[in-house]
Amino acid sequence: MDTEASIQAVAALDEPTRRRLYDHVVAEPSPVSREQAAEVVGIPRTTAAFHLDRLVGEGLLAVVFERRTGRTGPGAGRPAKLYRRSDHDIGVSLPERQYDVAGHLLAAALEDAEASGGSPRRALAHRAHEYGESVARDHPGTPLAEVLQAHGFEPRSTGAAFDLANCPFKALAKTHPALVCSMTLQLLGGLLDGLGDTGLQAVLEPQPAHCCVRLTLLPSS
């Protein structure tokens, strides 16, 4: 989910009845019917149905259809509509963080290094650059500033170049600055390479309260 959808999903739980229904569904080991949820929470079935379907719409719950009578074939009746926890992970971080991205890159790099016997840092640089290129492929024709914003960097234009007002990996960068800033440099370098013809380069230029990487103009030849 993007940030706006995640905020809406979390906000949906602010309604007390809806939150009680959500808590009940996720606490049950098996999917829950509207009737069961309504009885436990103490509300009419139609009210439960409204709130449960709202939770589905927000990506918090998922719907499954099952026959609970054990009967199959003709005459077995229609499957019941049941609710369970959604498979989506929903989180809100302001400013935006991308720790899941860092985790995937670090884990993949470690596996690569173990398989090849090479340097974990070199493997991380490769994975990060590759990931940046994949981000570019996912945003064909999108302006660079919009791509940076979508991935939590909060770009601030400085003429033709960009300062990055937010580090999506801030907590990791505080404790492991050399490793994480190098990863970020490669990621943004891959993004620029993937977008092509931006006229910019990613450089390490730490600034207070900013990402350690800046996007600056390529030197003129």
Do residues 41 and 17 touch, judged by C-beta distance below 8 A? yes
For residue 94, the model assigns a pLDDT of: 83
Architecture of the domain delimited by 3-85: Orthogonal Bundle (1.10)
For residue 4, the model assigns a pLDDT of: 82
pTM attached to this predicted model: 0.77
For residue 72, the model assigns a pLDDT of: 58
For residue 187, the model assigns a pLDDT of: 98
Chain centroid to Cα 37, Å, comes to: 30
Residue extent(s) of CATH 1.10.10.10 domains in the chain: 3-85
For residue 30, the model assigns a pLDDT of: 93
Q: Give the residues of the chain that fall short of pLDDT 50.
A: none
For residue 66, the model assigns a pLDDT of: 86
For residue 71, the model assigns a pLDDT of: 58
